[in-house]
Structure 1
Amino acid sequence: MRVIAVVLFCHFLAAFTALGMPLFLPRMMVSLGGSESDYLIGLMFIVPTLCTAFSAPWWGRFADKYGKKTSLLRAQLGLGLGFLLSGFADSVPMFALGLMVQGVCGGTMAASNAYLSRFYQGKALASNLNLTQSSARLALVSAPIILGIFSQVDDPLTLYRVLALLPLIAFGICLFLPSDIAEPCAQSGAVAPKSASVSQIATTGFSQVLWLQFFFCFSMVVTFPYFLPYSEHLGVNSDALSGFYYSLPHLIYLLLSFNIKSLSMPAKLQSQIGFSLLCLACLGQFLLVNSLGLLIFRVLFGFGMLLVFNGLHLIVSHQIQQCDAGLTFGRFDAWGKWAGVAAGIGASSATQVSGLNFPFLLAALSCGCALVGLVLFYKEVEQNVDPIKE
């Protein structure tokens, strides 16, 4: 429990800045001489995501070879350096460089999950994956509201400089975590033909989970970059209140994620209901003309997110092999980041062509694709997962 508490706390420290600041990219662009409504917002939003998408599998292999704790420490230092570079930027290219370093050298979620996989397997691991998501949701609940209060300062980039201390503090704390020894996979010639067949089945099932991860992350992220101007368009007149509306689904996840492990509903049904709720919530926000119904649809969004996360975590936790846990979580994280890249491009294009509410329609369509995938492919994944016990 001490290890879990330390990992979760340190992940929160890193996520507070990484997940809280992008909401205020319009303010950052203005301070650097850009426009708060042009393509730069979407472009800057996808820079760290794109870099993480490329680097996450590589860092996963690094963790499997050199140890999960080493990779976790590396991620904390990388985030601190990236935040410092962004905080001292005096131009858009320098700011982008800091975001690139943040993306290439970060990845604390995958690193934290891989480290926890050294101590937990099966349903116990799935429960801890929900907890690492809880630390991220806590950051998304608190950071937009707290940072929104200070986003109107004369130089908002100062926030990056101050908040760079958080991942550096996390690095210092993580130094005292128990070390782990990298375990290589079966040596050459040691794997029987039957084992090779089982490995191929697991790989096939995991590729289907990756597509669900892609559609899920796309549906969440595509509404993120322009949520601040979207809420202002609906009549929300303060950054702090906009931050509250954005954070509300994550608050719901945070409040309920500790009890979701007791839910006996099959992973397939959880995911189907979750994606359906997300689809309905996004369609509702697409059709809104004022802020009166925003509260209801953000709550609905939160319940959908809770069910989908738990369903995916149950599936992933049963496909983890200790020798390549880093690569598995790296791939899982990378597909989420590729979805974020596509979402950033889609959000930027959609708002320029069709308006600030159109990203919610894209999110609803993504949820629909995930539902189709569950109907057509989940049985194969279920057959791969269910026989595997903790």
Structure 2
Amino acid sequence: MSLDTLPRRAPGVALDRGQVHAIAACYFVASFAALGLPPYLSEILPGLGDRDGHWAGLLYIAPTVFTALGAPLWGRLADRFGQKRLLLRAQLGLTVSFLLAGAADSLPAFTCALVLQGFLGGTFSATNGYLAAALDGAHLSKALTLMQGSARAALVAAPILVGALSPWIDPHRQYLVMAVLPLTAAVLLGFLPEPTRQAATATATATATASRAGVRAERAGDPPGSLKLLYTFEFAFVFATVISFPYLITLVHERLPGAGAAVAGILFALPHLVYLVAAGRVHAAVQARPRTGLALGFALVALGLAGHAPAHSLPAFVLTRAALGLGMTLGLVCLAVLAAEAARGRAPGRMFGTRETVSKCGAVAAGLAAALVNSSGGPAAPVVTGTVAALAAALLALLTRRSTR
């Protein structure tokens, strides 16, 4: 998506378009191993003593859990010691954990490496905190939308690359190769400026002003910059979308027996491809009315998920995945706009660290719920559960939109 030249945010250091794109590229390359290798855990674990890959499900979410635990701590340290330093720490933390994972020769050692990957990583919240310290308003929400685009692109491309390399390099040892990526990102980020935050007295003044306005805000409804609602929507959105991921391939093969792995993979990636194509236009459309766009996004997510249950043909799956992708695009972009509003007058590290924790908790809850309902209702049950969650969130977004007019 296009980013205009970004204005100076006194007394901080603003980032121009090229620098924001460089940050997005660094996040993209650092995400490769984190997103591309976990789908191959069932192939990695037999070589570490887990012959049947029983631990694959638990290890899949281990980095997510420890990212959620570590993000608030790293966010507070970023506000204290500088956003750039903690972003570099996150990239170097990924480098170390990937090297340990690639060199591990036992299941306990590999598990410890994945735990460290989660705790020492957190590049998404660190990147967002860095951006929020330098940008504001629409420029920040555009940058956050671009970061989500980097994540979607890595989610699509990384598993394909890992699979293509597998005949020559075992997926386990690919961790060693992929460690070069966050290390390279850290070197590139070292050339970017360190954004400075407003003095503590200015922050305290803003906080006091917000407190005095609290009673009026409560009477008028939750303000657009409310953290409570932002975190609620974040959790609900991640839960509703991620719950369809674990058993989608199984559902496709059940409904489309003749479909090969390539077709299933394309269907899995389709919503993320929709985001890459449409995010820029969607941002321009919803920037002034993010609550309305968020409600529509949740409604489209519900429609897309609900369409999975009766789908029994390839065109039906393509339509439902496209609807889910459009809903995902609206949701992610509107959440970026709301996060940019909420970041005004707040310490960015702590806010985005907490947001990361909420997001990861939503992903873990979605994974556990998917496993639970799949065991009792089959591979279509997770999408039905996600439909209910998305509809409830759409209703909440509509109600809060009306209360803030």
Short-chain TM bin? 0.7 to 0.9
Counterpart of 1:8 in structure 2 is 24
Q: Structure 2 vs 1, CA of residues 149 and 198 (structure 1 numbering), >3 Å: closer, same or farther?
A: farther
> Match for 1:205: what amino acid?
S
Taking the aligned partners of 1:24 and 1:261, their CA distance within structure 2 comes to 34
Aligned to 1:306: 329
- What residue number does 2:373 align with? 350
* Alpha-carbon distance between aligned partners in 2 of 1:13 and 1:110, rounded to the nearest angstrom: 16
TM value normalised by structure 1: 0.88
What residue in structure 1 maps to residue 90 of structure 2? 75
The answer for the alignment partner of 1:51 in structure 2 is 66
The answer to whether residue 241 in structure 2 is matched with residue 220 in structure 1 is yes
Alignment CA distance shift 1:327-1:255 (3 Å): same
Q: Is the Cα contact below 8 Å between 1:235 and 1:291 reproduced in 2?
A: no
How much does 1:44 deviate?
1.6
CA positional deviation for 1:153: 6.4
Q: Confirm whether residue 135 of structure 1 aligns to residue 150 of structure 2.
A: yes
Maintained 8 Å contact 1:144/1:240: no
Tell whether 2:117 aligns with 1:102: yes
Question: Deviations 1:157-188 (Å, cap 9, x if unpaired)?
Answer: 12222112111111111111112335453379
In structure 1, the residue matched to 2:3 is none
Q: Which runs of 5+ in 2 are unaligned?
A: 1-16, 218-222
Query: Using a 3 Å threshold, how does the CA distance of structure 1 residues 236 and 67 change in structure 2: closer, same or farther?
Result: farther
**By how many angstroms is 1:85 displaced?**
2.2
Maintained 8 Å contact 2:27/2:147 = yes
Task: Give the aligned partner of residue 128 of structure 2.
Answer: 113
- Rate the CA distance shift 1:16–1:360 in 2: closer, same or farther, 3 A: same
**Among candidates 360, 363, 369, match of residue 340 of structure 1:** 363
Aligned length in residues: 381
Partners of 2:295 and 2:395 within 8 A in 1 = no
Q: SS of the residue aligned with 2:170?
A: coil
Name the counterpart of 2:303. Answer: 280
2:172 is matched with 157
Moved more, 241-250 or 286-295: 286-295
Helix, strand or coil: the match of 1:111?
Answer: helix
Choose 282-291 or 172-181, whichever is displaced more: 282-291
1:183-332 map, 5 Å: 183-186=198-201, 194-198=209-213, 205-233=226-254, 234-235=256-257, 238-264=260-286, 266-289=289-312, 291=314, 293-321=316-344, 324-332=347-355
CA distance in 2, matches of 1:26, 1:339: 24
Preserved contact between residue 38 and residue 60 of structure 2 (Cα < 8 Å): yes
Q: What 5-or-longer segments of structure 1 have no aligned partner?
A: 384-390
After TM superposition, the structure 1 stretch with the greater mean CA deviation from structure 2, 10-19 or 204-213, is 204-213
Distance 2:168 2:48 in 1: 14
CA 1:217–1:313 in structure 2 vs 1: closer, same or farther (change >3 Å)? same
What is the distance in 1 between the residues matched to 2:285 and 2:402? 20
Counterpart amino acid of residue 233 in structure 2: L
1:25-56 Cα deviation digits (max 9, x unpaired):
33334444547685x33312221111111111
**Contact conserved, 1:285 with 1:357, CA < 8 A, in 2?**
yes
More deviation, 243-252/350-359: 350-359
Aligned letter for 1:258?
A: G
Residues 324-374 of structure 1: CA deviation (Å, up to 9, x unaligned) = 011111111110001111112222333333323322222222212212321
Q: TM-score, normalised by structure 2?
A: 0.85
